[in-house]
Amino acid sequence: MKAVIQRVSQASVTIIGKKVASINDGLVVLLGIVNEDVSEDISWLSNKIVNMRIFPDAEGVMNKSLLDINGDVIIVSQFTLHANTKKGNRPSYIKAAKPDVAIPLYESFIKQMELDLGKSIQTGEFGADMQVALINDGPVTIIIDTKNKD
């Protein structure tokens, strides 16, 4: 699994003109899934995201986690995170898991994040054409790949 997390002061997801998710302080998590991903990747990534100290403390130092600030989350499926751009100018998405593999893992990741965060989170819609609007606070953007956890 690969995640791009962005610290935001506000964010939303719109599908066909309808806003389906909206948060203030927290994270937007773009999540890409490959066939090799397993449940251990889900728990490791969720734990890493909710505990990562990327929010400012009273002195402005990134020393607080999503849990510490009681922040909100929007998770958006993003198969393009696994684009292969090595050859030519048209990215290949062959590494991205097909829906029959990706959807159950995506849904399990959402449930794990809710357990780890202790509250419900918001999402986009798997496979939909979504417009994601956000104000990246900092800016802080971090890429996490479960294949690099060792």
Task: Show me where the domains of the chain are located.
Answer: 2-148
Of 8, 18, 141, the closest CA to residue 74 belongs to 8
- Write down the pLDDT at residue 150: 72
DSSP one-letter string for 122-146: EE--TT--EEEEEEEEEEEEEEEEG
Q: Which residues are catalytic?
A: 78-80
State the DSSP code for 19: E
Other beta carbons less than 10 A from residue 140's beta carbon: 16
Does residue 4 carry a pLDDT above 80?
yes
Residue 149 confidence (pLDDT): 80
The CATH T-level fold of domain 2-148 is: D-tyrosyl-trna(Tyr) Deacylase; Chain: A; (3.50.80)
